[in-house]
């Protein structure tokens, strides 16, 4: 049985995504780590009653990993579809998480699927697939990590409908933490206040801000009985930095908050 996926809308992202889906348009979601991009896509897949094929992109991900490859079995050589090809063939949302981490040849494969053609040419087999009516391409990335080497080309970006995510407003973040962990509202409010203070450190010492995901981890640990400060040290101070001085600064903030 599939677990129902909760999602608290921040703006009009649900409406925009639905319109994109109804018009067979691909969607690009930009936002920091742990702000709810993946949860949103999972929620929309459930809402639209579509299968979801999630691909976590990385440096070694190639077009072959997406499209498929020939394998050798007991009966000889056979073709095995990759997750992108299965989504194109069967219908569903193909979600490439952190797409800028993938190799450049990967994004080129997406181009004919992300414009009016909606086709996937498979060079190895000579097949040209027309996308299933329910196929939808969704990509996400963190623009904070973009540089000259890791960014989407304009020719790729301009094929997508764009959504920008950020961490939720404090009152929304409190609701999300309560909903996901079961802790009471007053404690969730304290955690969100701490996160606000930590996020103000981002410009100085932290590469990444304290994410909503990390706040939920912290709340779950507290809910299961771990002492509040220890949960904050383990789920906020340690994951955010390896620098001992910055860790001490975070721990001082935690001590001042609880």
Per-residue pLDDT tens for 89-102?
Answer: 999 999 999 998 88
Do 203 and 232 belong to one domain?
Answer: yes
Residues 116 and 188 in one domain: no
Question: What confidence tier does 11 reach under pLDDT thresholds 50, 70, 90?
Answer: confident
Q: CA–CA separation, 106 vs 61, rounded Å?
A: 7
* Rounded percentage of the chain residues whose pLDDT exceeds 70: 94
Last residue of a domain, one of 106, 141, 164: 164
Quick one: 144 and 186 in the same domain?
no
Asked if residue 129 and residue 199 are part of one domain, the reply reads no
Domain housing 17: 13-164
In a shared domain, residues 207 and 229: yes
Please tell me the predicted confidence (pLDDT) of residue 43: 95
State the pLDDT at residue 3: 58
Mark whether 47 and 157 lie in a shared domain: yes
Is residue 3 situated within a structural domain?
no
Burial environment of residue 209 by CB neighbours within 10 A (0 to 12, 13 to 18, 19 or more): buried
All residues at 6 or more sequence positions from 126 whose CB lies less than 8 Å from its CB, including other chains: none
Residues 188 and 157 in one domain: no
Q: Is 244's pLDDT higher than 70?
A: yes
Q: How far from each other are the two terminal CA atoms of the chain, in whole angstroms?
A: 40
Q: Residue 37 is part of a domain; what is its CATH number?
A: 3.40.50.300
The answer to whether residues 22 and 134 belong to one domain is yes
Number of independent structural domains in the chain: 2
Work out the pLDDT band at 73, boundaries 50, 70, 90: confident
pLDDT digits (tens, 9 = 90+) for 101-133: 888 778 889 999 999 999 999 988 899 999 999
pLDDT bucket at 200, cuts 50 / 70 / 90: confident
Asked whether residue 160 carries a pLDDT value surpassing 70, the answer given is yes
H helical segments located in the chain: 13-22, 37-47, 63-67, 83-90, 104-110, 154-157, 170-181, 185-199, 212-223, 228-232, 238-240, 244-257
Range from 179-183, 197-201, 204-208 carrying the lowest mean pLDDT: 204-208
pTM of the shown model: 0.87
Q: Please indicate, yes or no, whether residues 251 and 135 belong to a single structural domain of this protein.
A: no
Q: With bands split at pLDDT 50, 70 and 90, how would you rate the model's confidence at 1?
A: very low
Read off the pLDDT of each residue in 56-82 and give the average, rounded to a whole number: 90
Q: Do 41 and 93 touch, CB atoms closer than 8 A?
A: yes
């Amino acid at each position: 049985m599939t677990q129902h996926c909760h999602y608290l809308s921040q703006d009009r992202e649900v409406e925009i995504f639905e319109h994109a889906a109804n018009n067979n348009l691909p969607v690009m979601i930009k936002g920091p780590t742990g702000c709810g991009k993946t949860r949103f896509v999972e929620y929309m897949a459930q809402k639209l009653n579509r299968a979801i094929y999630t691909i976590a992109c990385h440096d070694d991900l190639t077009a072959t990993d997406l499209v498929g490859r020939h394998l050798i079995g007991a009966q000889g050589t056979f073709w095995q579809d990759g997750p992108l090809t299965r989504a194109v063939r069967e219908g569903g949302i193909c979600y490439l998480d952190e797409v800028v981490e993938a190799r450049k040849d990967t994004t080129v494969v997406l181009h004919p699927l992300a414009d009016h053609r909606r086709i996937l040419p498979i060079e190895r087999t000579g097949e040209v697939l027309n996308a299933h009516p329910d196929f939808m391409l969704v990509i996400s990335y963190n623009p904070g990590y973009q540089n000259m080497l890791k960014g989407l080309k304009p020719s790729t970006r301009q094929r997508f409908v764009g959504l920008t995510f950020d961490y939720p407003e404090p009152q929304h973040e409190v609701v999300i933490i309560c909903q996901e962990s079961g802790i009471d509202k007053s404690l969730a409010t304290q955690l969100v206040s701490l996160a606000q203070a930590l996020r103000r450190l981002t410009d100085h010492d932290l590469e990444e801000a304290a994410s909503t995901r990390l706040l939920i981890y912290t709340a779950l640990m507290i809910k299961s009985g771990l002492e509040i400060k220890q949960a904050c040290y383990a789920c906020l101070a340690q994951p955010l930095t390896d620098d001992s001085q910055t860790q001490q600064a975070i721990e001082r903030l935690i001590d001042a908050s609880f």
